Amino acid sequence: MARPREFDPDEVLDRSMREFWERGYRETSVDDLVGATGVRPGSLYNAFPGGKRRLFLEALARYSALVVPEKLGALEQRGAGLAELRAYFDGLVRDLTTAEGRMGCLMVNSAMELAAEDSEVGALVRDHMSRLERNAERALRNAKRRGEISKRIDPRAKASQLMATGMGLMVVGKTGPGRKVLETIVDSAFADLG
């Protein structure tokens, strides 16, 4: 009979997610994960068959399920408009000016590190980016219908541009340029909406 688990798999995922977020996949060793989680290597491999890679993929999925909704906030609501879209970007700027925020976004970090060479990571990142873009497009369609933005704006194209701006903002934010620089990037991205 197998011994019962002596750890909470969700807590292990949360701590592992934090390690991957801070260090990246390649720079996070199994020893780092053992140190962060307090779980022996054999127990980690038993709980997450496929080892470090499986743990990383599950940590990415957990990030998408727990962290992303918190960051998107009201932007995920069906009635979201320009105010909610701007609030999302203002939240990014606010986050990126904190020590924790300088870690960036785990999905964006993973896109830069692994998406081109790992199809499963690439699929998770694409799903994440599609989610952001769909929410932005819906908010822009709502804003256009309400007269909050110019009728000449193509919500789909502008959503793509804003999401690319958001991804770039998260990369630039990791360098610590300061709030004013980040605000200027966001202001420029929103300038043509009026």
Residue 2's pLDDT is: 52
The better pLDDT of the pair 5, 146 is held by 146
- The secondary structure of 34-58 as a DSSP string is HHHH---HHHHHHHSTTHHHHHHHH
CATH number of the domain where residue 132 is located: 1.10.357.10
Q: What are the pLDDT digits (tens) for 40-75? A: 988 888 888 988 999 999 999 999 999 999 999 999
Is 1 a domain residue? no
pLDDT at 4 > cutoff 80 = no
Q: How many domains does the chain have?
A: 1
102 lies in some domain: yes
Query: What is the span of the domain harbouring residue 75?
Result: 9-193
At residue 1 the predicted structure's pLDDT band, cuts being 50, 70 and 90, is very low
Indicate the pTM of the whole model: 0.89
